[in-house]
Amino acid sequence: MEKELYSYERRNGYQSSLSDFKGLLSYRAALEKIQFREALSPSASLTDLRELAPSSNRDRRYSFADADGIFLQRALDKARATFNSPKPPKPFIPTWEQMQLRNKTRDQEIEDRLRPKRAPIPTQLPPADDAKVTGILQKRGALFKFAREQVTSEDIGRLRPCQWLNDEIINFYGSMILARSESSKENPGGKPSKPLKVHYFSTFFWPKVLDGYDKSRLAKWTKKFDIFEKDVVLMAVNHGNTHWTSAAINFRQKRIEAYDSMNGDQSYVLKHLRAYVDAEHRNKKKKPFDFTGWEDYSPKVRLIACYWAAASPFHTFFVPVPQDIPQQENAYDCGVFTCTILEYLSRGEEVFNFTQKHMPYIRRKMILEIATSQLREPS
């Protein structure tokens, strides 16, 4: 029995010799007897029969032979039962796909907590508002004014489908964004999405930036305010009179930002804006601007390469993965994308929940906003 039990223990990881194992068995048997006696210790009022035992046996130490096989048999039966019982299940080791899914689910939970999902953008105005827009588009010779900006009914017509926006529409919209920020400063609180402290530079500012700070006398553009006290400075950028994009100097996030609905390279925009910030700081604060912790931020649609082997040679095509910035699907909606992105940025939004399919609704919404000189509350 000793050897059989020893073999079980060896299979279970025991590495010492058989003689050591025999000594271990004797030690276990002695401990078991001691524990058994302590478990049945009599109370003080009862006679302890151990006291009546001959004194010669009282201090005797037990050897393995004293177990008279009972302890050994019990240990052997326990070992057999252990090895004959069903094997424990293998530890769970997740596959790569399972780990990816778990991480994606966890990241989505974190994202949902940090940025709760908003209600989806509507695809059309309420019937009463839509009728107002139809009436506005039918007016001829109308003039709409706000602050120092004005647009004509011909300019408003550029917000019909398939039209390219001009400076007048974009600057009118930008002036409303600026006015909302100023109004929020004078009447704080009350709104769940309070606008940031914003300044909007008109579309005529960007060409001056390209010409240089001193040559364009850009110091005069900020005589009445300090851009370094703003949360974000917004501007629309015109590229060769063919495309509109959005740009921002985000003091709140420490970022120079550029957003392009055509996924183009905006590195030169970021470069010129950095130079402007430094030149403005040198002019107003008399020292270079500290760009420590700042970053250039230009989100893009990421593309992954796929290969189609149905024909020879292999055909390569690219598939977009989830977008960081909405992308236009035509050659004329860039101005609408630009205005909408600027409006989002003015409220501190970092996730854009509109797409190309919302352009018809946004165009008509902008008509109503310009005609009433009032930005609608975000969805």
Nearest alpha carbon to residue 133 among 373, 370, 375, 378: 370
**216 CB contacts (<8 Å, ≥6 apart)?**
208, 209
Nearest alpha carbon to residue 197 among 350, 30, 28, 345: 345
**Residue 354, CA distances (Å) to 177, 272, 303 in order:** 18, 29, 20
Active-site residue flag, 358: no
Active-site residue flag, 231: no
**Which residue is catalytic, options 260, 333, 339, 358?**
260
Find out whether 335 and 244 touch, Cβ atoms under 8 Å.
Answer: yes
Cα separation of 360 and 329, whole Å? 13
Look up residue 352 and give its two tokens: 């854009």
- 102 DSSP 8-state letter: H
**Residue 90, CA distances (Å) to 9, 81, 83, 87, 136 in order:** 21, 20, 16, 9, 72
Cα separation of 168 and 2, whole Å? 100
Active-site residue flag, 334: yes
Q: Residue 173: what residue type? A: Y
**Which residue is catalytic, options 243, 333, 339, 358?**
243
Count of CB atoms within 10 A of residue 10's CB?
Answer: 13
Nearest alpha carbon to residue 375 among 337, 346, 335, 333: 346
Cα separation of 314 and 306, whole Å? 10
Cα separation of 233 and 250, whole Å? 6
Find out whether 230 and 198 touch, Cβ atoms under 8 Å.
Answer: yes
DSSP 273-326: HHHHHHHHHHHHHSS----TT-EEE-----EEEEEE-SSSSPEEEEEE-S-SS-
**25 CB contacts (<8 Å, ≥6 apart)?**
2, 5, 64, 67, 71, 72, 75
**Which residue is catalytic, options 155, 334, 339, 358?**
334
Does 313 sit behind a cis peptide bond, omega within 30 degrees of 0 on the bond before it? yes
Give the catalytic positions in this structure.
Answer: 243, 260, 334
